[in-house]
């Protein structure tokens, strides 16, 4: 995207740690921002912070898992600003439990936001984005959990499942939407925290996947900066955490091992 000033970004989960950081980063390059979240007080706080940077902001209470709420968000964004140039589908939720203890409600709660929220956003905004024309970019927030090693995340199965699905959807959308002039990126951060220095000192990592990034902890502003670069460069994958390369290589070694095992047998 050549010029951000005067354009509009919509961010679901826009008042959370990463969502608010993206809102502020977009505001600093002159973009108007629509902040969608389930928490009104956090929305209000983020709207004030964005407006303090001299751009316009709109807060909309939105449950990303609710298709009707996402339709209403699209209506509100276009009614206020007339166009959407960056759509960040970022709302998320996790429930940490041993796999055998997860209930159907747990799975539905996480998948409904983490993947259903992304799909709802695509379906609610896409017809307008196609009709709009010009530069448009969809950024789907996945995670290193969507491309890395599931065995490092045994307490987070619904989240991992949803994040893999978000990667697959993004990989399909990129070539499918290219003829419409719509760019697609999938954001895959590793361990992102409010205070990397404090976490590094404490060494309190909930799962091995978090400890993998102990030497590559980033705060949300650093991840948001990488999102801006990724949009500018029209990257399919946005990888803020450089330590993620080793995790992906480790996972894919296991995939290739499966092919090697298959090569040692003859089809019946």
In this prediction, residue 102 carries a pLDDT of 98
In this prediction, residue 3 carries a pLDDT of 86
In this prediction, residue 202 carries a pLDDT of 85
Tens digits of residue pLDDT in 102-128: 999 999 999 999 999 999 999 999 999
The pTM (predicted TM-score) of the whole model is 0.94
CA atoms lying within 13 Å on the CB side of residue 11: 31
In this prediction, residue 266 carries a pLDDT of 67
Tens digits of residue pLDDT in 72-106: 999 999 999 999 999 999 999 999 999 999 999 99
Active site residue 78: no
What percent of the chain stands above pLDDT 90?
A: 88
User: Considering 78, 159, 205, 237, which one is annotated as catalytic?
Assistant: 159
């Amino acid at each position: 995207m050549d010029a951000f000033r005067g354009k509009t970004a919509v961010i679901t989960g826009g008042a959370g740690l990463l969502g608010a950081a993206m809102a502020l980063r977009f505001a600093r390059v002159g973009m108007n921002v629509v902040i969608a979240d389930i928490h009104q007080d956090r929305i209000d706080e983020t709207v004030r912070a964005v407006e303090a940077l001299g751009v316009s902001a709109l807060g909309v209470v939105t449950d990303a898992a609710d298709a009707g709420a996402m339709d209403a968000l699209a209506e509100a964004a276009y009614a206020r600003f007339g166009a959407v140039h960056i759509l960040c589908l970022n709302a998320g939720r996790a429930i940490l439990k041993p796999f055998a203890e997860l209930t159907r409600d747990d799975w539905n709660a996480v998948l409904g936001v983490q993947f259903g929220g992304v799909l709802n956003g695509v379906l609610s905004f896409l017809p307008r984005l196609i009709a709009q024309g010009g530069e448009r970019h969809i950024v789907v927030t996945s995670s290193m959990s969507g491309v890395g090693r599931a065995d490092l995340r045994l307490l987070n199965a619904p989240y991992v499942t949803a994040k893999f699905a978000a990667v697959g959807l993004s990989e399909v959308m990129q070539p499918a939407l290219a003829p419409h002039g719509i760019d697609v990126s999938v954001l895959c951060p590793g361990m992102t925290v409010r205070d990397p220095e404090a976490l590094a000192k404490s060494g309190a990592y909930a799962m091995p996947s978090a400890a993998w990034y102990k030497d590559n902890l980033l705060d949300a502003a650093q991840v948001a900066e990488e999102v801006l670069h990724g949009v500018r460069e029209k990257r399919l994958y946005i990888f803020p955490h450089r330590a993620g390369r080793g995790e992906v290589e480790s996972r894919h070694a296991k995939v290739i091992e499966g092919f090697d095992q298959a090569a040692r047998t003859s089809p019946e």
